[in-house]
Structure 1
Amino acid sequence: MPTPNHNHNHNHNHNATNNNNHPHPQTQTLPPQTPQNPLPYPLHPHPEGGYFHQTDRHPLTLPTPWPSPQGSSRSLSTTITYLLTPSSAVGVFHRNKGRTVHSLHRGRGRYVLLREDAPVNGDGDEDEDEDEVDGSGAKGGGRRSKGQGQATVETFVVGMDTQHGERMQWVVEGGVWKGCFWETRDIDSDDGEGFEGMLISETVVPGFEMEDHEFLSRTKMEEMLPEEQTQELQWMLRENHPEVPSF
């Protein structure tokens, strides 16, 4: 089963359901140009976990391509900087309606994607190609499996070590559930960067609006996945992270 590798210094993974670890909502903004935030602008707590700053909202607008209660148009694209840190190391499962292009700047992390509409081959069976894991054209470093539920689980590492399959750019299509977490680097593969966290940019096309966002519930996860996979991945549900702020 392709699930995150927990055999590293990720104590927060196994303690994610322990509310005593995070007794208060995480509301502190990270000031700029500090060890945690090397950027020239502050980063604000994100409702998915981690921190963010919107860096661009395209001035052009286009009709919203799906039913929208908030209006008929939106920006062509939006871009944010997103950061996971050792103290806020999990981006909980959620999905958006728009297509999101991710670009890594520093650090390392692992992504877990849940696809309800997994592609099948001409025989009606799931496509077993483990390399062709997203729309970015990237190869290697990813694994897929499909259990007794409806969804295919995919996991891959994002980092600078592209020779060993890590990715510096990846695409998540609209409607795909995604979660992520900071993953420490093995000592023997340390690149000497010394940055603890995962710093990326996300560009959403068409532009993001709050109405597009949905957190994954445990009930929905149980519908998509067999019990074993649900138990393995439920720690990445928002309900198990009371420390993250609300929208």
Structure 2
Amino acid sequence: MSLYAYPEPNSLLHKNLKLEQHFEGGYFVQTEILSGEVPSPYAEGASRPMGTQIYYLLDPNSPWGRMHMNRSATFHVHHCGRSEYTLIYPPTGDSPARVEYHVMGANSELGEVKQLFAPSNVWKASRIPVADLAHAKEGGGDRERIGCLISEVVVPGWVMEDHAFLTKEKLLELFAGDEEKAKPFLEIVKPLAERSGP
């Protein structure tokens, strides 16, 4: 039994969209880069493409997107499936780091969202919900129809120089050295090869 509407199986999404492995985890293909460049207000005025767009897929073979930051703002638009997003806003002034959780999906009655905005310089990670992966593993669902396909639009456009992974040291710094507060996020900070679970 399917957990949610998933019109095309993952194998067809990979084939038809020509997806490639993403270095953060998951799969992607760049579908648009706007011609022309603009000075980025998020990168000290450095020149950047006006905007970029990708498809991004998580599936049971690559269910994580490692915690990272983009200096540009990112708009996420849901197409099918379901994924959990964790956003960590760095501390500012007297305010401590703030954590937000969102589920991108089609069921608004459950609080799932079809759009998600990640501002500049906010840490972000994504994953297929553990319960969804367990459902497929236990034979309750088709692995070909478990995952999440979205589009990401980055403004100004994405460049490698504006990307950073969150390290354990930086994670502790975000929470003022409090290991208990940092502990829930240690798994999504690890490189993909070092993770212990799905």
Q: 1:51: how far off?
A: 0.4
Deviates more, 1:54-63 or 1:222-231: 222-231
- Partner of residue 38, structure 2: 62
Change (3 A) 1:111 1:92: same
Change (3 A) 1:37 1:178: farther
Q: Does 1:100 align with 2:70?
A: no
* Distance in 2 separating the partners of 1:60 and 1:77: 9
> Which of the numbers 165, 168, 192 marks the counterpart of 1:218?
168
Q: Does 1:231 align with 2:183?
A: yes
Q: 1:37: how far off?
A: 4.1
Change (3 A) 1:196 1:118: farther
> Which of the numbers 101, 112, 125 marks the counterpart of 1:179?
125
Q: 1:153: how far off?
A: 1.3
Change (3 A) 1:48 1:37: farther
| Counterpart residue type for residue 117 of structure 2 | V
> Which of the numbers 22, 25, 29 marks the counterpart of 1:46?
22
- Partner of residue 158, structure 1: 104
Q: 1:117: how far off?
A: 3.8
1:131-210 superposed matches below 5 A:
150-183=96-129, 184=132, 195-210=145-160
Q: 1:118: how far off?
A: 6.0
> Which of the numbers 58, 63, 69 marks the counterpart of 1:89?
63
Give the aligned CA root-mean-square deviation in angstroms.
2.7
Aligned length: 176
Contact 1:48 1:238 in 2 (8 A): no
- Partner of residue 242, structure 1: 193
**Deviations 1:62-90, CA, capped at 9 Å, x for gaps:** 1233237xxx4221100010000111000
Contact 2:10 2:59 in 1 (8 A): no
Where 1:160 maps in the other structure, the secondary structure is coil
**Deviations 1:17-37, CA, capped at 9 Å, x for gaps:** xxxxxxxxxxxxxxxx86334
Where 1:180 maps in the other structure, the secondary structure is strand
* Distance in 1 separating the partners of 2:180 and 2:154: 32
- Which blocks of at least 5 consecutive residues in structure 1 are unaligned? 1-32, 127-149
- Partner of residue 35, structure 1: 10
Q: 1:186: how far off?
A: 9.8
Q: 1:185: how far off?
A: 8.4
* Distance in 2 separating the partners of 1:222 and 1:234: 10
TM-score of the pair, normalised by structure 1: 0.64
TM-score of the pair, normalised by structure 2: 0.79
Which segments of structure 1 move beyond 6 Å, counting only runs of 4 or more?
A: none
* Distance in 2 separating the partners of 1:55 and 1:111: 23
Structure with greater strand percent = 2
Q: 1:57: how far off?
A: 0.1
Where 1:163 maps in the other structure, the secondary structure is helix
> Which of the numbers 71, 75, 78 marks the counterpart of 2:52?
78
* Distance in 2 separating the partners of 1:172 and 1:107: 20
